[in-house]
Amino acid sequence: KKLWGYPELLFQWEWQLGKILKAQWQKARGQAEQQEAIRAYGRAAGHLETARKNYAGTTPTFSKDGENFYLERAELLLEAAKSARGEDKQNLLKTAIDSIESRQEAGLRNYFQDECVTEKSQGGEKRLLQNNEVLVYMVMFGNRVELIWKFSSDNDPIQQETSKCDSCKDQSLDEKIGNFRKEIAKETWRSDGSSGKLYNNLSRLFITESFQETLINHRNKIDTVIIVPSNELLRVPFASLSVGKKLNFNGDKPYFIYHYAISEPINWKLSGTSLNNGIDLEQDPALLAGLAIEPQMSEEACLQQQSKSVEIVPGDSRSVCTKPLCYVGKEIEEIGKVIKNRTTLLGKNFTVGKVRNVFENNNYSIVHFSTHGYFDQYSRNDSWLCTHNRDETLTLDKLEELLQGKKVKLLTLSACETALGAELGLAGISVKVGTQSALGSLWSVDDKSTSELMRSFYNYLTGENSMARALQKAQLDLLKRDNFKTPYYWAGFLLIGNWQNN
C-alpha cells in the first residue's frame, strides 16, 4: 500500500513478481502458477502505462525496461495460448498482440527520444482489414520466431505458429540474419551461391509451409500480406524470400513478391486509421525534389565520375553528398508526367531554404525526395537527406517541423545511395513526421534501377491499385529485366504505414 501513487515502483514490483511466478510455472507447469504470472504481468503493464502518462519523460533505463517487459509479457501469453482452446486462446493471442504493439511503440519512443512521437499519427476512422489481406506479426525470441496472423473476418480465428531455427547451433539467429542481409544486398548474389543454404533456411523460418498453405487455401483470394515484424526483423527483405512448391509449382516464380504485395507498418495501431482519401495523381499537390547533377553532363561522363566517388569518407558521413546521381533528373521528369499539380526543386534549387519556403506556402499530399540519405543507427540527430549545398542537410527534425500538420499522404525517399541503415529510423520516419505512408530502401541501391522502379510505382499508383500493389508491380517490372533480376535491385524497398489507396 505504501507504493500507491508511485506507479514506476509498482511496475518494477509486479514485473519482478511476474518473473518469479513465470519461473515457478516453467518448473512445475501448473495452471495456477501460469495464471498468477499472467495476472502479475497484466498489473505491471497497467502501472507502466500510468507511469509513462504521468511523467513527460522517463530515464533511458526505465524506457528500455518497457521494451524488455512487453517482449517478456508477449512471450508468456503466446506460450500460454499454445495449450489453450477456443475463446481463451483467442483472448490470450489478442492480449499478446497488444503487448507486441506496445513494444514497437516503446522502441520508437526510445529511438527518437520523444515520448509523444507515437501520438502523431493522423486520426480518422479505424482501418479494417480487407478480404484480400492478411495481417501477420513476426516476433523473434532468441533462435525462434513466433508468427501470429489474422484475416478480415471475425469468423477466422487468430492463428499462431512457432518457427524454430534448427540451423542456429553454430551461430545465433540474429547473426545469421545479419550475414544474410549483407549477402543479399550485393549485385552478384545468387540463391544457389555460397549463401544459398542460409537463404533457404531463413526463407523457411519466416515464410513457413503452414503459413503458405493457409494463404493458398483461404476462401478469399489473398493478394496482400501486411507484415508487422519485431524491431530485430525490420532488416529482413521479405520480398526476396523463397516460397515452396505449392506457390512456385512451375519453378519460375521463386520469390515471395511474385505472389503477394507486401507492406510493413511499424504496428497496426499506428497504421490502423484511415482518412478515407486515397492518392489522386490528377489533383493532389506534390513536391518533387532531387539532387540532380549540375552542370549537366552526359550519362557516360556521369557514370564515370560516379564510379570514382567514395561512398563515405571515414569520419565524414556527409561526403556521400558529393557522389553524383545520374538519373535523378530523368526520374523527376517522368514522375512529373503523371503528377499534374507539382512543385519541382532540382539541382541548385534543392536547398533547405527553398524547401522551407515551398512548405510554408503549400500543403503537399505527396513529397518525393531523390537524394542521398543517412540514417544513423544510434542517433536520430545524425539522420538527414543531402541537399545541393553539401554543408546544409535536411535533418529529420527539420523535416518533422516542415511537415507538422500538413497531412502528407506519401513520403518517398528515392535514390538514397547510403542505406537507411537504422531500420527503425526508416520504419519510424512516417510516424515521426506524421505522414500516412513512407517508401524507402533498406540498403544502398542502384541509381538507374531505382529511377525506373519509382517511375513504374507512380504509374501504377492509380485508383485500382493499392500502394502495396503498385510497389509490387514496380518490383516485378524490374524482375523481368535481365540486368535487374537479382534482389539487390528491388528487394530492399519498403512501404511503411498505410498500404491501401482507397
pLDDT at 418: 45
C-alpha cell at 454: 519509382
DSSP-derived secondary structure letter, 365: S
Average pLDDT, the chain: 87
State pLDDT tens for residues 360-419. Answer: 999 999 999 999 887 766 666 677 888 998 788 888 888 888 988 888 999 998 866 444
Where are any strands of DSSP class E within 372-430? 373-374, 384-386, 393-395, 410-414
Nearest partner of 324 among 335, 338, 308, judged by Cα: 308
Q: How far is CA 324 from CA 24, 344, 413, in A?
A: 61, 19, 16
CA distance 411 to 435: 7
CA distance 456 to 348: 26
pLDDT-derived band at 453, boundaries 50, 70, 90: very high
HEC readout, 199-262: HHHHHHHHCCHHHHHHHHHCCCCCCEEEEEECHHHCCCCHHHCECCCCCCCCCCCCEHHHCCEE
CA distance 6 to 311: 51
pLDDT at 90: 97
pLDDT at 419: 43
- Give the SS3 label for residue 402: helix
CA distance 305 to 293: 11
Which of the listed ranges 25-34, 174-183, 244-253, 316-325 does the model predict with the highest average pLDDT? 174-183
Domains in the chain, CATH or no CATH each: 7-119 (no CATH), 125-270 (3.30.420), 277-497 (3.40.50.1460)
State pLDDT tens for residues 218-261. Answer: 989 999 999 999 988 988 999 999 998 888 888 889 999 999 99
pLDDT at 316: 59
CB 24 within 8 A of CB 76: no
Nearest partner of 374 among 359, 391, 394, judged by Cα: 394
CA distance 147 to 415: 33
The two beta strands, 493-497 and 437-441, are antiparallel
* pLDDT above 70 coverage of the chain, percent: 88
State pLDDT tens for residues 75-85. Answer: 999 999 999 99
CA distance 391 to 316: 11
CA 276, 279, 282, 286 dihedral sign is positive
CA distance 68 to 209: 30
pLDDT-derived band at 122, boundaries 50, 70, 90: very low
Instruction: Identify residue 341 by its one-letter amino acid code.
Output: N
C-alpha cell at 37: 504470472
Predicted structure pTM score: 0.92
C-alpha cell at 1: 500500500
* pLDDT above 90 coverage of the chain, percent: 56
CA distance 249 to 258: 12
- Crossing angle of helices 86-112 and 423-433, rounded to 10°: 90
pLDDT at 61: 60
CA distance 13 to 26: 20
C-alpha cell at 147: 508468427
Residues 6+ apart with CB under 8 A from 411: 367, 369, 403, 429, 430, 433, 435, 437, 438, 439
Burial class (CB in 10 A: 0-12, 13-18, 19+), 3: middle
Burial class (CB in 10 A: 0-12, 13-18, 19+), 77: buried
